[in-house]
Amino acid sequence: MTARRPGFPARIAPAPRGAPPVRGTAGGPTGARTAPWPAAAPPTGVGLDSAAVRERMLARLAAAGLASARVLGAMRAVERHRFVDSALANQAYEDTSLPIGLGQTISKPSVVARMAELLLDAPGARAGGLGRVLEIGTGCGYQAAVLSCLAQEVYSIERLRGLHERARANLRPLRLANVHLLLGDGMLGFPAGAPYAGILVAAGGAALPPAWCEQLGVGGRLVAPIADAAGVQSLQVVDRTAQGFTHTILEAVHFVPLKSGLG
């Protein structure tokens, strides 16, 4: 019997210890839906032309090496200033992380774009886009909104109730039917939605929790910051094939620490 998918938003309970992993191939129908983005209204109290500054942001991303037209389109569609405090709106399209409360940050646009492009470049990725994607660490909801343009379904887990509620408030006006927000311990993943075509992690830990690899579908890709013994984080890409897992370590990054439990 197929597990019932949660509505928007949802809360998840921790999985019981020793629960068997979900098996199968990377999930989701072929082809990604384009998110039903509303026509952008002129920003109020921002003091900038968001369309023009987004184009400048895209030009910088392209000049830095971002080649995916799909990711560039998603970054163009999602208005980053909607996800930061109004006092920081003038910095929304700069390539910098910004505080979003509770000691957390919204990632740099270049990092969001880089991780999304890595998911799309997975050997098992379909030409039409990703199937189901799991995001660990919703934060303010910006990255989930970007992923909604690239994937058939997005499940995004946040452990901090305050940020979960903030993401709900940020995303509710956009009415993204393919985004499911979950309050829970991201280190456990979300087995009811597995297997996933992609898993994207927005917090850095010392190791990959086993649940993530178990929930990654065959042909799927996981992108996460992993810290070495000295605490230096690097992006790690994990591809799952029928023969097992391959790990690739990429450039240095800096994310907030990965933590378990609810807060």
Band of residue 169 on the pLDDT scale cut at 50, 70, 90: very high
- Residue from 129, 160, 110 nearest 262 by CA: 160
Residue 22 CA to residue 45 CA, distance in Å, equals 47
Predicted local distance difference test score (pLDDT) of residue 201: 97
Mean pLDDT of the chain: 85
Predicted local distance difference test score (pLDDT) of residue 48: 54
Phi, psi for residue 63 in degrees, rounded to 5: -65, -30
Residue that wins the pLDDT comparison between 80 and 129: 80
Predicted local distance difference test score (pLDDT) of residue 77: 95
What residues are paired with 101 via a beta bridge? 104
Q: Which amino acid is at 257?
A: P
Lowest-confidence pick of 25-29, 76-80, 212-216: 25-29
Phi, psi for residue 31 in degrees, rounded to 5: 90, 135
Catalytic residue, chosen from 50, 86, 97, 107, is 107
Q: Which two tokens stand for residue 192?
A: 């009811």
216 in Cβ contact with 21 (< 8 Å):
no
Residues 241-259 have pLDDT tens digits of 999 999 999 999 999 999 9
- Can you identify the CATH homologous superfamily of domain 42-253? Vaccinia Virus protein VP39 (3.40.50.150)
Residues 41-81 have pLDDT tens digits of 444 444 456 788 899 999 999 999 999 999 999 999 999 99
pLDDT over threshold 80, residue 10: no
Crossing angle of helices 69-77/50-63, nearest 10°? 150
Each domain of the chain, given as residue ranges in start order, spans 42-253
Residues 86-110 have pLDDT tens digits of 999 999 999 999 999 999 999 999 9
What residues are paired with 253 via a beta bridge? 233
pLDDT over threshold 70, residue 19: no
97 is catalytic: no
Residue 161 CA to residue 55 CA, distance in Å, equals 33
Predicted local distance difference test score (pLDDT) of residue 239: 97
Q: How far is CA 162 from CA 58, 82, 183, 208, in A?
A: 31, 17, 10, 25
